[in-house]
A and B are shown apart, each in its own frame.
Chain A
Amino acid sequence: MAELLQHLLNGLVLGGTYALLGIGLTLIFGLMNVVNFAHGEFYTLGAYVSFAALALAGVDFFAALAAAIAAGAALGWLCEIALLRPLRNESIDTTMLVMIGVWIAMQNAELLGWGGVAKSIPHPFPTAPLVLGPVAIAPLRLFVLVLAAGLIAASWLLIQKTKLGRAMRATFQDRDTAALMGVSIGRIHSATFAFGSGLAAAAGALLGPIFLVYPSMGDLASLKAFSVVILGGLGSLAGATLGGLLLGIAEELGAGYVSSGYRDAVGFVIIILVLLLRPSGLFARQERIA
């Protein structure tokens, strides 16, 4: 039983960050119809910015997190207006291809700039784990879980309560009507991409100290993000949140009880099953995308 609880706790921490990645991508993919293969690179960017801030500039953790989010959002905004907006009328494959190019370019620029050696991000927490009954959790992980939850809540508030959020939701539901109602679609797109990339960067800054920072860390993150998005349903924040948590827990349980070699397969199989049984994802209410 203790083992099961430990697995669940591990999965929850991981799932929180998967949720952050998923929320960002579900908005980008859902609203802008862009297959953003570079999403994982913003995750990596966030981790490197956090490293630079903490290890080189010596600022505190929150400032580093803020810097990472700002960097991700800024670069995302830039990508949108420089690359995606001019290609707005092209097919989904064209925008996908341009983001593949951005992915390759960003990852290798990081390799060139930082070198291939993994970096360790210093953090102020003690390493001795907190013992809560039968399970143990490192203080850093608990902190990350709390922050991730906070960011997820903040995203919710932004989408549900602010004018920008309303405009984004309107654009997602019915672009033409939203445009007729005066929503500037171009600005919504830029804002969405910036927001999504900023969240990905936040996930990177949060996971960076737990793991390590190296140029190819974003590849798996991208894949997980896509899984979360489809699991939860395109464009659904609740779906991405719960999907992220589910994926994290499923992976942990799969690795713990089935086989560690097939750990990632568990995620894949779940996705296939979900898609076969509930094609529009677990939470989306609309029909399949035609």
Chain B
Amino acid sequence: MGKRSIVLVALVLVALAALAVPGHSQSPVKIGVIEPLSGPVAASGNYVRMGAEIARDWLNAKGGIGGRKIELLIEDNKSDPKEAASAAEKLIVRDQVPAIMGAWGSSMTLAAMPKLQEYGVPMVVETSSAASITKQGNPWIFRISPPSEMEALGLERYVDKLGVKRADFLAVNTDWGRGSISAFGDMLKKKGASVGVAEYMEQSATDMNAQITKIKATGGDTLFLTTAVEQITLVMKQAQEQRLTRKIVTTGGSSSPTQLIKQAGAAAEGSYHIVFFMPWFPEAMPDGKLAKAFVDEWAKRGHPFEGLTEGFRGHDGIATIAEAIRIAGKDDPKAVREALWKVSVMGVNGPIKFEKDGPAGKESGQSKPSIFIVQIRDGKVALPDFLAKK
């Protein structure tokens, strides 16, 4: 026998051995993911995807779900509601996923919702904040991100400590921005603060000087800012140029304070930020060990640190779905939906457990996520000055 024949025989034996290895003949558990991976918010969508992939790999390392590996089927909704609906249809019908996580933006999520109802497949909403999502009477929706009202409630106890007497608003002209203004406005009025002007900026706008000039003229003491981190950077820089001197509080959790420090520099000094994850002090999170492990894994994969404030949502969404599939014992969408009501799992943000929300008889699930407030001081992210007096 020549050397070549030995190699051939060896290859055949290896191939037979590979076929014979047990456990790999089990089909994977497929979970659908719909995020904006291209278009203006591609960065955020990709961060969520990265977080989801970490959750998948961790779970698979521990044996997956009932011995079966998890496979993520990732679709791009291109920041277009029509695409979100098509992606949902494809995942449900062609790929037969038992559950989906998505779709980041509220309009995308709302567009996909009829498909969930049509085919009976549950979706875990990881980012969208529009109140209407859980009030539609769609029993296939389970949200782990806070609607704006919940966020505003989370800030309520700090309003006096912050010293907010007269607030103005500047928000991106989307459902998120508008919802935020309305929710925070109501909360502030209940606390006895007065509300000044509400200005808007288009999603793609880069020049907010006109709005800032108007806000400057109101004489308020606090500016509530709701938009994505890129626009926050621009607003802060332009506010600094116009010498706007008042407290700035960003809402919505997409402010990525680390990125702000890098790009806005001194303009961001002193600003407060409502976030749902504090990667700068993970030990302060409800499950400190899990949070720290997530931060470390994220860094290990070379992902940018500033993406952590959004990436954790992907992890928590997948962890929730995986737990539901485990409880259900099978990847049947209706069983997974019932199991979602029984889920009580610890995510990076904190405990995840769904309560009923919406019209009776067809409630959606809404969890109560933890809400934090941080401040940029001396070029670093820290606990706010009114809290850190120990």
Contact = CB atoms under 8 A, between A and B. Distances in A.
| Contact present between A and B (CB < 8 A) | yes
A263 B210 CA distance: 9
B263 A120 contact: yes
Interface in B12-55: 37-46
B204 A219 contact: yes
Contact of B202 (A136, A207, A264): A264
Interface stretch (B63-71, B233-241, B362-370, B373-381): B233-241
Interface in A108-146: 108, 111, 115-118, 120, 127, 129, 136-138, 141
A108 B267 CA distance: 32
B243 A129 contact: yes
Given A260-B201, A260-B214, A138 B42 contact: no
Nearest to B79: A216
A184 B211 CA distance: 50
Nearest to A216: B40
Residues of A in contact with B, size category:
35 or more
Given A117-B43, A212-B234, A108 B205 contact: no
User: DSSP class of A's interface residues: helix, strand, loop or mixed?
Assistant: helix
Contacts of A31: none
B233 A260 contact: no
A7 interface: yes
Given A14-B207, A115-B43, A118-B230, A136 B243 contact: yes
Nearest to B210: A255
Nearest to B40: A216
A189 B296 CA distance: 55
B213 A7 contact: yes
A215 interface: yes
A10 interface: yes
Nearest to A256: B210
Contacts of A108: 38
A211 B263 CA distance: 10
Contacts of B41: 116
Interface in B313-367: none
A182 interface: no
A3 interface: yes
Interface in A204-221: 207, 210-212, 214-217, 219-220
Contact of A111 (B42, B229, B306): B42
Contact of B233 (A120, A216, A263): A120
Given A7-B213, A117-B43, A136-B243, A127 B266 contact: yes
A237 B214 CA distance: 34
Given A117-B304, A212-B263, A260 B38 contact: no
Interface in A178-233: 207, 210-212, 214-217, 219-220
B200 A6 contact: no
A211 B206 contact: yes
A260 B210 contact: yes
A10 B38 contact: no
A41 interface: no
B199 interface: yes
B241 A216 contact: no
5 contacts: A14-B207, A115-B42, A136-B241, A214-B43, A216-B39
Interface of B: 37-46, 173, 199-202, 204-211, 213-214, 217, 229-230, 233-234, 237, 240-243, 262-263, 265-267, 304, 306-307
Q: Which 9 A-B pairs have the closest CB atoms?
A: A116-B42, A255-B210, A116-B43, A120-B263, A256-B210, A211-B206, A117-B43, A118-B230, A261-B200
Given A6-B242, A216-B204, A256-B210, 15 more contacts: A10-B207, A111-B42, A115-B46, A116-B42, A116-B46, A118-B230, A129-B242, A212-B263, A219-B204, A252-B207, A252-B209, A252-B210, A253-B210, A260-B199, A263-B210
